Structure 1
């Protein structure tokens, strides 16, 4: 999240949109409520509009992951007074090992303005570190936030929302209009808070199996569970689990997906 500097053109391939609205920046900081005791990690700091506020609030204890190598020297120059505590990692966040940032008992607090083209895979990547994370605050395209928060029967309900809600409490916070950025995107953005559970409210016996079931079920959204899951489980077996095989996947609750996953795990363990 960043304000656009003179001489730096936003790069389309990185999905850069520089945040410049001070009112929005202040609202984001209040939502995060950073404190000196926190270990914050910012993904894609850009030119540091949000970074500056985070550094001031935490006395400089901040890790940043930035892919655009041209921005890194600018950030180091801009925040030179925090050189001992502000660490910039030139890396692709999709491949970054966030576990390597943990230095003590403090969990990580993740912040980022995530480009639309990487937001979904990046969230899945971060969920794999959920045991190390206290919370995540993201600026996302509003449609992605809608997908994260959607429930059964909602048009936005799908794999992203189901797995995010398996691991986290999802809290949409507020909408950010295109005019808050330069260049202005064509769609609204939104801020969302993801808070990992200490223990999933509906734990699956095998999370990998659950992910496979959900991915397969939504392989073709317009088809029924009978068709989409036929390679995994029979219609009779679904009925035995009190699940209608004639339903489309977006009608099932997280608990029902876990029920299917656990049945498959039990069957695999018997063989």
Structure 2
């Protein structure tokens, strides 16, 4: 099979035709905005450096705009779709627009937050236009349960993209920034305007790329000790770490002792700490 076979990507007319056929009205509840611009989906696939060696997992494929572009390039594509009507139509769309590539596609019809390792066979990349309302929880869930994912390229709300890629000390640096950087190097990979979607959202979108640490500098299993610290440090952003972590350690004095032992000033706020600082604070080792 030609891994670079042709797929006829979906434009505005095809998107409307599919939506009408299925009786689909995009809903805010599911965070649905369908991409109708072929150049945008090809740009996303290129930004993810997808090759024929990749098994890509896509979350929320919707009507299949990005799915078809992924099928052109990847070896395999698994699409996770919670909406039963959309999930049922995807194989037909693949046959209609990319008949030579349709056997590359597997559909998993369930809630992305409930997907487990048994549902998707060792994906190497996550590429998705993530539903706005669950983008960060879904992203972190997939990074946690699929260590085989080495690259992530997701489209999210611009402000979420800024938060994910923020550095310590930035106003928008917070829980998503630290947790994403626990798994890999995070960066903004571009901006996407409103006009490529139907319906057009009120806000711009951003692309975020994550490259998983090939040789992690800390124990991934320590996540269960590190993530509660991150949550506590940012629960009340204006508080010093001594105060914010008082509940976690049992008292502000105990928090201060732990912070000093990790070489961290108790008077700092959570936004000053890097992921390495949180690893140290949890009592885990950061390797060079």
TM-score of the two chains, using structure 1 as the length reference: 0.87
Q: CA contact under 8 A between 1:102 and 1:108: conserved in structure 2? A: no
1:172 aligns with 2:183: no
Cα distance, 1:130 vs. partner?
Answer: 4.5
**Which of these residues, 151, 166, 188, is aligned with residue 167 of structure 2?**
151
Q: CA contact under 8 A between 1:204 and 1:262: conserved in structure 2? A: no
Task: Rate the CA distance shift 1:66–1:2 in 2: closer, same or farther, 3 A.
Answer: farther
Match of 1:96 in 2: 115
Aligned mates of 1:115, 1:2 — CA distance in 2 = 19
Match of 1:193 in 2: 209
Aligned mates of 1:217, 1:2 — CA distance in 2 = 45
Summarize the alignment of residues 253-268 of structure 1 with structure 2, pairs less than 5 Å apart. Answer: 253-262=274-283
Cα distance, 1:226 vs. partner?
Answer: 1.1
Match of 1:219 in 2: 235
Structure 1 stretch displaced more, 18-27 or 79-88: 79-88
- SS of residue paired to 2:162: helix
Name the Cα RMSD after superposition. Answer: 2.3
- SS of residue paired to 2:84: coil
Q: CA contact under 8 A between 2:48 and 2:151: conserved in structure 1? A: no
**Which of these residues, 249, 259, 265, is aligned with residue 270 of structure 2?**
249
Q: CA contact under 8 A between 1:45 and 1:51: conserved in structure 2? A: yes
Aligned mates of 2:272, 2:74 — CA distance in 1 = 44
Structure 2 unpaired stretches of 5+: 1-8
Q: How many pairs were matched up? A: 260
Match of 1:269 in 2: none
Aligned mates of 2:64, 2:26 — CA distance in 1 = 14
Cα distance, 1:128 vs. partner?
Answer: 0.9
TM-score of the two chains, using structure 2 as the length reference: 0.83
Match of 2:260 in 1: 239
Match of 1:9 in 2: 25
1:209 aligns with 2:225: yes
Structure 1 unpaired stretches of 5+: 266-271
Match of 1:63 in 2: 78
- SS of residue paired to 2:29: helix
Task: Rate the CA distance shift 1:203–1:72 in 2: closer, same or farther, 3 A.
Answer: closer
Aligned mates of 2:145, 2:10 — CA distance in 1 = 25
Cα distance, 1:225 vs. partner?
Answer: 0.7
1:156-189 CA distance string (max 9 Å, x none): 1111111111111112110001111111111110
Task: Rate the CA distance shift 1:219–1:98 in 2: closer, same or farther, 3 A.
Answer: same
Aligned mates of 1:89, 1:5 — CA distance in 2 = 24
Task: Rate the CA distance shift 1:88–1:252 in 2: closer, same or farther, 3 A.
Answer: same
